[in-house]
Chain A
Amino acid sequence: MKFLPVDAVIRQVDVQDVINRVDINELLERVDIDQMLDRIDLDKLMERIDVNRIVQRVDIEEIVGKVDIDQLVGRTELGGIIVQSTGGIATHALDFVRSQGVGLDEWINRWVDRILRRKPGVAPDGPRLLIAPAAEEAS
């Protein structure tokens, strides 16, 4: 029996045409994925991966920036945890009274600015020593 060199055979064959003829879906149906996964040693695979390098590439700030904290707290049980840990009837009452006060303050301020024809946002938010550090922190 005479053997031909593989390269010579491949050169004669239209590989693309062969690939086109193969029914991938049928092939995949025959494959037992579970069995294949069982053969993989995940521990060994994980040892090869540099997790720290992957984490360093992730922009945590960007991810956190995309998270809607309000929605998260509103939808998850995190809300209940916060209520249990920090809540009390007195705290809720204080929050409510203060919130209402601030809301009414802002409402009056808006109307006063409108009547006096002041541009909103022109007036300082607070004393220099209290507002400047907060603004620096935010930026």
Chain B
Amino acid sequence: MKVDSVPRPSLVGHYAGPVSRAAAFAVDVAVSTLILAISVRVFASLCDLVFRTTIDYSDAPPLIGLSVLVVWLFLYYFVSWSVAGKTVGMGILGLRVVRRDGSKLGKGHAFVRTVTFPLSFLFFGLGLVGIVVGREHRAFHDVCADTTVVYDWDARAARLRILAAGATADLAPAESGDRP
């Protein structure tokens, strides 16, 4: 398997592939879970501090826990997409959600994308097949919201940085070898 570690220049605006999108999603799952876990702990500590009430989450009905999770995930994705056009994971992987024609994502499209996002995972992720085999790499929720995901990072600058880092690494042993 041959994978080019130095990216091709001018990738901005190109359709993002399945690996980058999967990696971004994995980061989002980790980040959103971490934030939720910290928030729940902070909330419990505040209740204990202010109201002298100890909250035991193990006693709470599963429906409440599920509702909190759903609301939190909705807010996480909807606010991220409607405000910045990207989530934390997408920002790290250099991706951005845009309209199918490339224009900026509006609140309405962000809302539809967020609502239909879980549907893509139904039936063993059938709605995600389009990311791999589609010409425009669009999932079911992309089709519903008329959106697509593109690369949004300066690959040319990254290419120069990677080449420069390689050159510096080559120079370092040579310089140290010159020393008496």
Residues of chain A touching chain B, judged by Cβ–Cβ distance below 8 Å, are 69-70, 73-83, 86-87, 91-92, 94-109, 112, 116, 123-131, 134, 138
Contacts and interface: CB of A to CB of B under 8 A. Distances in A.
Q: For chain B, what secondary structure do more than half of its interface residues adopt (helix, strand, loop), or is it mixed?
A: mixed
B18 A108 contact: yes
Contact of B161 (A82, A108, A116, A131): A82
A79 B163 contact: yes
B167 A102 contact: no
B164 A80 contact: yes
Contacts of B136: 123-124
Interface stretch (B41-49, B74-82, B97-105, B119-127): B97-105
A102 B155 contact: yes
B20 A102 contact: yes
Interface residues of B, number: 52
Closest CB pairs A-B (n = 9): A105-B17, A130-B13, A127-B102, A129-B102, A79-B167, A79-B164, A103-B3, A101-B20, A130-B102
Q: For chain A, what secondary structure do more than half of its interface residues adopt (helix, strand, loop), or is it mixed?
A: helix
B10 A134 contact: yes
Query: Chain B CB within 10 Å — which of A74, A86, A103 has the most?
Result: A103
A106 B167 contact: no
Contacts of B150: 126-127, 130
Contacts of A92: 161, 165
14 contacts: A70-B163, A80-B171, A96-B162, A97-B23, A98-B94, A98-B158, A102-B8, A105-B20, A124-B15, A124-B136, A125-B15, A126-B150, A127-B101, A134-B13
Given A102-B7, A108-B19, A130-B98, A74 B13 contact: no
A46 B159 CA distance: 42
B11 A83 contact: no
Interface in B1-42: 1-8, 10-20, 23
B17 A82 contact: no
B157 interface: yes
Given A103-B5, A107-B3, A112-B132, A83 B13 contact: no
A106 B23 contact: no
Nearest to A101: B20
A133 to B, nearest CB: 9
Contacts of A100: 3, 5
